[in-house]
């Protein structure tokens, strides 16, 4: 016998299919084991896949588990935006404008975006945790990970720094030339992870170049988590907006960033990241964008092994 599960794929942080960041969503993963979730995430081989379960608290919308091809992670940006969009597209929780997801990093509120006709076009999440700023990472270490010269690291505003709103990233500013030339050096990532361990995700680097005051272009490498490069990283953009707002001299500020990512991969994405600062403290961070449905299907998880199926002549030897 087999259990059959529905899945949908959606491109996140884009209004067009075949761009943005792809995501696989299983809108009802009841009865699926954690091992099966990890295997399916590895099979899809997207940056992340999500598995929706009933909430622990009925006041919330769902419990959402997020897997990269290598790990389960406590929070991520595009999986929340894409999962909210999928559930709304399936007419689930259709009376709600805000969905509440229970995740490892805490409760994630996701506001649905609609067009003038009331159709859901995307979503915008609020980070589940306040900004946390961790270790500074030597520019030489980050440059080696990115395969660029240390001179490509821009330190005028901040040095490479670990920052998180639920998932940690090394955040570095680079020159525009270095942004385009960068290539992940996996051994350098392994070495850096040994020297600078971070909780929640194996060593990853989110780096950006300024196009204008609040317009950025960014990339993210996380090869140790099975993500050589991510087309759009909502959680990292949240951390970036929060970090820049914290560093800004203003005591009260709304920093609204327009970020392009995935350009070098041929998967152009556009994210809006907003950080609010009051009395010198960052109080709220959000990120969002549009989404586009791509595929829908069903997958059967067989209880019998392939060997048993062959013996039963279910498949050819």
User: What amino acid positions are annotated as catalytic residues?
Assistant: 48
Q: Which two tokens stand for residue 213?
A: 């005051």
How far apart are the C-alpha atoms of 112 and 122, rounded to whole Å? 6
CA distance 81 to 109: 10
Q: Can you read off the two tokens belonging to residue 126?
A: 């609020």
Q: Which residues contact 301 (CB under 8 A, 6 or more apart)?
A: 2, 3, 4, 5, 32, 36
Q: How many CB atoms lie under 10 A from the CB of residue 305?
A: 9
Q: Which candidate, 135, 230, 251, 240, places its Cα nearest to that of 192?
A: 135
Q: Locate tokens 């030597």: which residue?
A: 138
């Amino acid at each position: 016998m087999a259990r059959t599960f529905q899945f949908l794929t959606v491109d996140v942080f884009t209004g067009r299919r075949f761009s943005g960041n792809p995501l696989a969503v299983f809108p009802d993963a009841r009865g699926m084991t954690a091992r099966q979730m990890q295997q399916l995430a590895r099979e899809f081989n997207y940056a992340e896949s999500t598995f929706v379960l009933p909430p622990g608290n009925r006041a919330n919308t769902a419990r959402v588990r997020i897997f990269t091809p290598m790990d389960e992670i406590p929070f991520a940006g595009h999986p929340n935006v894409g999962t909210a969009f999928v559930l709304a597209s399936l007419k689930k929780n259709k009376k709600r404008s805000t969905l509440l997801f229970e995740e490892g990093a805490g409760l994630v509120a996701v506001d649905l975006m609609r067009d003038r006709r009331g159709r859901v076009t995307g979503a915008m999440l609020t980070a589940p945790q306040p900004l946390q700023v961790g270790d500074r990472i030597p520019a030489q270490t980050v440059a080696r990970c990115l395969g660029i010269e240390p001179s490509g690291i821009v330190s005028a505003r901040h040095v490479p720094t670990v920052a998180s709103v639920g998932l940690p990233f090394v955040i570095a500013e680079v020159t525009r030339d270095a942004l385009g030339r960068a290539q992940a050096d996996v051994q350098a990532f392994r070495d850096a992870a040994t020297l600078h361990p971070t909780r929640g995700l194996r060593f990853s680097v989110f780096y950006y170049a300024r196009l204008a005051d609040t317009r950025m272009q960014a990339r993210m490498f996380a090869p140790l988590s099975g993500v050589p490069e991510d087309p759009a990283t909502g959680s990292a953009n949240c951390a970036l907006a929060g970090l820049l707002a914290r560093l800004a001299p203003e005591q009260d500020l709304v920093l609204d960033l327009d970020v392009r990512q995935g350009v070098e991969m041929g998967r152009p994405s556009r994210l809006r990241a907003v950080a609010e600062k009051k009395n010198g403290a960052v109080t709220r961070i959000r990120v969002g964008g549009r989404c586009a449905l791509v595929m829908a299907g069903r997958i059967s998880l067989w209880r019998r092994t392939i060997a048993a199926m062959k013996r039963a002549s279910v498949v050819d030897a």
